[in-house]
Structure 1
Amino acid sequence: MKKLLNIMANRLFIVAVLILLQLGLIIGVMVSLSGFKLVSNLLRFLNFFLIIYIVNRQENPSYKLAWIILVLVFPLFGGLFYLMFGGRKMPKALRREAMIEAARTHPVLPRNEKILAEIEGQDEQAAKQFRYVVNNAYYPVYKNTEATYCPTGEIKFWHMLEELKKAERYIFLEYFIIDNGIMWDSILEILIEKVKQGVDVRVMYDDAGCVYTLPANYRKILEKLGIRCAVFNPLKAQLVIQMNNRDHRKICVIDGKVGFVGGINLADEYINAYEKYGHWKDTAVMLKGDAVWSLTVMFLQFWNFVYKAMPPSNYDDYWPVYKPEEQPVSDGYIQPFSDSPTDEEEVGATIHFNIINQARHYVYIHTPYLIIGYEMQRALETAAKAGVDVRITVPHVPDKKLVFMVTRANYEPLLKAGVKIYEYTPGFIHSKSFVSDDEIGLCGTTNMDYRSYYLHFECGVLTYKSSIIKEMKQDYLDTLKDCCEITLEDCRKTPAVVRLIRAVLNLFAPMM
């Protein structure tokens, strides 16, 4: 184990050192050139137009403000850093590849207009939410689907093991983090056995998410076992903007019949097999039925984009093979969806906005980070001022201390507006879930922060009038019993120095 940790640490160290050397070289050249008056004046001239360009981009105002301040404070290389890292989106060539692959999936995803019409007959506002996803993310809303809520990682893990053992055709796994331990070793044991039975087993993981948990050659290790493997966006010792884009999704699909989605990665802290940041609270949803087809398409779409060793899969070939034969009794309306930084549509953020803005009585939120811009802050405040019971639960034990300071920096204005904020005292909440008005539920991978909203590939499942909504609400209320409520008095007791540090960090929160 120590040897493995050393290998991973050395790999990250080498990448970091080489990137810093490149940055140092660039900064050194810029400093040297700045001694020439002509070059200095040219940089100021270019920065002026760069600021005009930033102001007029269709981006989050907080994100633009942070970069403008950086360019003004550091005129020598602030503009250069923006050109290198500030564009947020992927390089044009990669974006084009991803969008072409996404377009290939549209014909195999049914719009299910009759189901949308049913929802519209019950609640026009709810129908608008689902129609937004259909029109902009192209993922339909389904019936004929059974949903099971998993309020902890342990419960999801148990269900997942049981379903994996039943696999006959294929197993698709896509996770941000995979870590050797009780959880992954138990799953891997089943995968190896299934490969021997002729099951098509594919695993996809994010390289940055696994840099501390898996060796650099882990793909080859899995492929020697007969498991096809793809690694998203491998870490490289070069300054490239796509290093910001990560595959933050967590998807498991089995035979097109069963699918899992939620915040739970394949690592032992998620099932509390060991304590990392206190007790780990997370959630997921298991689906059985028609809606699993969207999760299948999500995986295959990304697999074709990432896995370059073979010709891309033909979606028309998968539809008759993977579509489930039996149809479970409908459990409300289910809409799995995916969000991508390759387009200009911030699906995850918009769904969050819509749930908050359309709430009539209450909206309860679990999020590990509360790194929000002005628009989200105003949406939460406006809902609370209108009499909606808005509650947000965040961790008490942080995983990232600087990010947690920014989370706490956002407490006071929200509390003043009537939003209720709770910290989960046993440890860390990693769940990303919304539940509202006993009708709408959301469980997925999207955090309330800039990275999830604008940089990462994310996914989730939106539900309407499903049985799991009552379970989600009850789980939220039960979780509150283990939380401490934050008050305005608590915020005002914060030392002035800490408040100042939080304010400065909050200014640059969009870059975190």
Structure 2
Amino acid sequence: MKKILQFLCGRIFLTGILLLVQLSWFVFFLMKLTRYSVFLSGFFGVLSILIVLYLIGSDDNPAYKIGWIILIMALPLLGGLLYLLFGNKRPSKPLQRQLVPSQKALAPTLVQDPKILDEIGKSDGRAEGLSRYLQRMGGWPVFGNTEVCYYSVGEKMYSDMLDALENAHHFIFLEYFIIQPGKMWDSILEILTRKAAAGVDVRLIFDDMGSLFLLPQSFPREMERRGIRCLPFNPFVPVLSLMMNNRDHRKILVVDGHTAFNGGINLSDEYINHTHPHGHWKDTGVRLQGPAVWNFTAMFLSMWHAFRKEDAQEDVRQFFPHVYHPQPFTGEGFVQPFGDTPLDSEELAENVYIDILAQAKRYVYIFTPYLIIDDIMKNALCAAAKRGVDVRIVTPGIPDKKIVYRLTRSHYMPLLKAGVRIYEYTPGFIHAKSYVADDETAVIGTINMDYRSLYLHFECGTYLYRHPAVLDLKADALDTLSKSREVRLSRIHHTAIGALFDAVLRLLAPLF
């Protein structure tokens, strides 16, 4: 009985009721207005036409535009208003006002060493072009002298994360989409609490929506009580709002400025295979040690300073990689951590993926949990395969969301026809987001191949060029392929109703 009362009085239940009431009132109000007023019906119809014309002339993603145009045509009285309320994918102005100045303030610290770009250019002008693109359009410099350790599963990275946290003496920055109490988070929290008590500057950012069903409402207060400074990003409020579209999907851990962890691994037990909700959980990550860590530190600080104004004027030079690591860094190859943001009109992450496919000569191996692609990405995958590149994609064998699993599979046929090889990870669910190509190029990070990751979320990744860790990812990819079942075109059968349902799913996918 106590648990039932707690649920009925809890944040999740009350939020659901409030959202349902708002949506019901909205639909009822509009239907009443349009029923009794010819003028208002005409107004909404004209509004829908004007929005369709606006969409045709806009620079939005074609799949996104087509989905809204068809929805507006199907609901001419409500479609235009629905778009105004929910369809504009641009970030809310409050987010822009807070985050853009913070990002600009840190931009002067992200300095590109031209000698490094020249060194890349001597071996490959196209690779230099991609690094220049990330630096010019995203502001993220490329570095040498950075060691990279690649992790093929979350439990291996978790062990090294604990070691790094235990060895922290000055500051710890964490930024995660999901935090869930359990073995993984509880062990990390115990270290963070001890370190904060010892005077280490411990800061935590978590996405409020990502952990909405996992953390109590009192979580930030509890962290502050422990000495862990805590920031819930874009707190969820029970109001129908576009602000809820833009989530912080990044996974970053920085220790003392010289060590950072990145990848698809959240702070929850399934990511280290302590629990098994969907079979074996396959994820990937990297540990960086060297000057390239600064890019991740800057990502964290730009978010922190935007919402914790009391720290906005702090001297960020105290967090530089060399401050607590005076000895020289070493490392082969080139490392370029980068972040993607919905605050600009540059689809940075998608363009990195497309460029890798366009440059590839021999192979591209891809891990992704969600293959929910638009025509631009589909054409890039197909074009690479058609010119003879061995393009292979590994998707989950056991789904975490059945409707998303069906949507992923609905994209198989045109890719298979073009020569792309698709595998499903039979031991369980693959949550990794990784690309590796031609023994030279790789990306490991948080960026899914779906509309939300590529257009709406704050994301991050680690781009590697001619680094030994690239071959570690390749070896893992080959091992993972050997454990996966290949999808054959001859075994894909669609009924007319099933094909129609899949088409509707693909049409609506960019809208939600």
**Could you tell me the TM-score, scaled by structure 1's length?**
0.97
Return the offset for 1:384.
0.3
Return the alpha-carbon distance in structure 1 between the equivalents of residues 89 and 307 of structure 2: 20
Return the offset for 1:3.
4.9
Return the offset for 1:396.
1.3
Return the alpha-carbon distance in structure 2 between the equivalents of residues 476 and 4 of structure 1: 46
Return the alpha-carbon distance in structure 1 between the equivalents of residues 470 and 307 of structure 2: 35
DSSP-derived class of the 2:330 partner: coil
Q: Answer whether contact 1:290 1:324 (CA < 8 A) is retained.
A: no
Give the stretch that moved more between structures: 95-104 or 145-154: 95-104
Residues 359, 9 of structure 1: alpha-carbon distance in 2 compared, 3 angstrom cutoff: farther
Return the alpha-carbon distance in structure 1 between the equivalents of residues 243 and 323 of structure 2: 33
Return the offset for 1:400.
1.5
Residues 207, 7 of structure 1: alpha-carbon distance in 2 compared, 3 angstrom cutoff: farther
Return the alpha-carbon distance in structure 1 between the equivalents of residues 321 and 423 of structure 2: 47
Equivalent in the alignment of 1:110: 111
Return the alpha-carbon distance in structure 1 between the equivalents of residues 312 and 466 of structure 2: 41
Return the offset for 1:98.
1.2
Once the two structures are superposed, residues 267-292 of structure 1 have per-residue CA deviations (whole angstroms, 9 ceiling, x without a partner) of 00000001111110000000001111
Counterpart of 2:81, as a letter, is L
Equivalent in the alignment of 1:29: 29
Q: Answer whether contact 2:256 2:321 (CA < 8 A) is retained.
A: no
Return the alpha-carbon distance in structure 2 between the equivalents of residues 9 and 437 of structure 1: 55
Equivalent in the alignment of 1:270: 271
Give the stretch that moved more between structures: 30-39 or 443-452: 30-39
Q: Answer whether contact 2:257 2:319 (CA < 8 A) is retained.
A: no
Once the two structures are superposed, residues 183-239 of structure 1 have per-residue CA deviations (whole angstroms, 9 ceiling, x without a partner) of 011111111111121111111100011111110110000110011000001110111
Once the two structures are superposed, residues 222-266 of structure 1 have per-residue CA deviations (whole angstroms, 9 ceiling, x without a partner) of 110011000001110111101011000000000011100100000
Return the alpha-carbon distance in structure 2 between the equivalents of residues 391 and 509 of structure 1: 23
Counterpart of 2:334, as a letter, is Y
Return the alpha-carbon distance in structure 1 between the equivalents of residues 163 and 18 of structure 2: 45
Q: Answer whether contact 2:258 2:322 (CA < 8 A) is retained.
A: no
C-alpha RMSD of the superposition: 1.7
Q: How is 1:51-450 mapped onto 2 (pairs within 5 angstroms)?
A: 51-308=52-309, 310-319=311-320, 322=323, 324-450=325-451
Return the alpha-carbon distance in structure 2 between the equivalents of residues 223 and 8 of structure 1: 27
Residues 459, 7 of structure 1: alpha-carbon distance in 2 compared, 3 angstrom cutoff: farther
Q: Answer whether contact 1:141 1:334 (CA < 8 A) is retained.
A: yes
Counterpart of 1:499, as a letter, is A
Residues 469, 87 of structure 1: alpha-carbon distance in 2 compared, 3 angstrom cutoff: same
Q: Answer whether contact 2:292 2:335 (CA < 8 A) is retained.
A: yes
Equivalent in the alignment of 1:509: 509
What's the % identity of the aligned pairs? 46
Q: Answer whether contact 2:368 2:434 (CA < 8 A) is retained.
A: yes
Residues 320, 405 of structure 1: alpha-carbon distance in 2 compared, 3 angstrom cutoff: closer
Equivalent in the alignment of 1:459: 460
DSSP-derived class of the 1:81 partner: helix
Residues 151, 197 of structure 1: alpha-carbon distance in 2 compared, 3 angstrom cutoff: same
Q: Answer whether contact 1:174 1:251 (CA < 8 A) is retained.
A: yes
Name stretches of at least 5 consecutive residues in structure 2 with no aligned partner: none
Give the stretch that moved more between structures: 381-390 or 328-337: 328-337
Counterpart of 1:180, as a letter, is P
Residues 13, 52 of structure 1: alpha-carbon distance in 2 compared, 3 angstrom cutoff: same
Counterpart of 1:401, as a letter, is K
Residues 470, 46 of structure 1: alpha-carbon distance in 2 compared, 3 angstrom cutoff: same
Return the alpha-carbon distance in structure 2 between the equivalents of residues 395 and 454 of structure 1: 22
Return the offset for 1:10.
3.5
Return the alpha-carbon distance in structure 1 between the equivalents of residues 310 and 510 of structure 2: 36
DSSP-derived class of the 1:349 partner: helix
Return the offset for 1:5.
12
Q: Answer whether contact 2:294 2:321 (CA < 8 A) is retained.
A: no
Give the stretch that moved more between structures: 274-283 or 300-309: 300-309
Counterpart of 2:379, as a letter, is R
Residues 189, 442 of structure 1: alpha-carbon distance in 2 compared, 3 angstrom cutoff: same
Counterpart of 1:160, as a letter, is M
DSSP-derived class of the 1:212 partner: coil
Return the offset for 1:312.
4.6
Q: Answer whether contact 1:293 1:323 (CA < 8 A) is retained.
A: no
Q: Answer whether contact 2:8 2:14 (CA < 8 A) is retained.
A: no
Return the alpha-carbon distance in structure 1 between the equivalents of residues 136 and 3 of structure 2: 50
Counterpart of 1:355, as a letter, is I
Return the offset for 1:322.
4.3
Give the stretch that moved more between structures: 363-372 or 496-505: 496-505
Once the two structures are superposed, residues 435-474 of structure 1 have per-residue CA deviations (whole angstroms, 9 ceiling, x without a partner) of 0000001000000000000100000100000011111001
Residues 119, 488 of structure 1: alpha-carbon distance in 2 compared, 3 angstrom cutoff: same
Name stretches of at least 5 consecutive residues in structure 1 with no aligned partner: none
Give the stretch that moved more between structures: 429-438 or 195-204: 195-204
Q: Answer whether contact 1:231 1:306 (CA < 8 A) is retained.
A: no
Q: Answer whether contact 2:144 2:331 (CA < 8 A) is retained.
A: yes
Residues 384, 320 of structure 1: alpha-carbon distance in 2 compared, 3 angstrom cutoff: closer
Residues 115, 339 of structure 1: alpha-carbon distance in 2 compared, 3 angstrom cutoff: same
DSSP-derived class of the 1:280 partner: strand
Q: Answer whether contact 1:31 1:76 (CA < 8 A) is retained.
A: no
Return the offset for 1:397.
1.0
Return the alpha-carbon distance in structure 2 between the equivalents of residues 298 and 506 of structure 1: 33
Counterpart of 1:509, as a letter, is A
Give the stretch that moved more between structures: 291-300 or 307-316: 307-316
DSSP-derived class of the 1:508 partner: helix
Residues 58, 323 of structure 1: alpha-carbon distance in 2 compared, 3 angstrom cutoff: farther
Q: Answer whether contact 1:300 1:313 (CA < 8 A) is retained.
A: no
Counterpart of 1:407, as a letter, is T
Residues 440, 6 of structure 1: alpha-carbon distance in 2 compared, 3 angstrom cutoff: farther
**Could you tell me the TM-score, scaled by structure 2's length?**
0.97
Question: Number of residues paired by the alignment?
Answer: 510
Return the offset for 1:61.
0.1
Equivalent in the alignment of 2:46: 45
Residues 124, 418 of structure 1: alpha-carbon distance in 2 compared, 3 angstrom cutoff: same
Q: Answer whether contact 1:5 1:212 (CA < 8 A) is retained.
A: no
Return the offset for 1:76.
2.1
Return the alpha-carbon distance in structure 2 between the equivalents of residues 441 and 5 of structure 1: 50
Give the stretch that moved more between structures: 252-261 or 496-505: 496-505
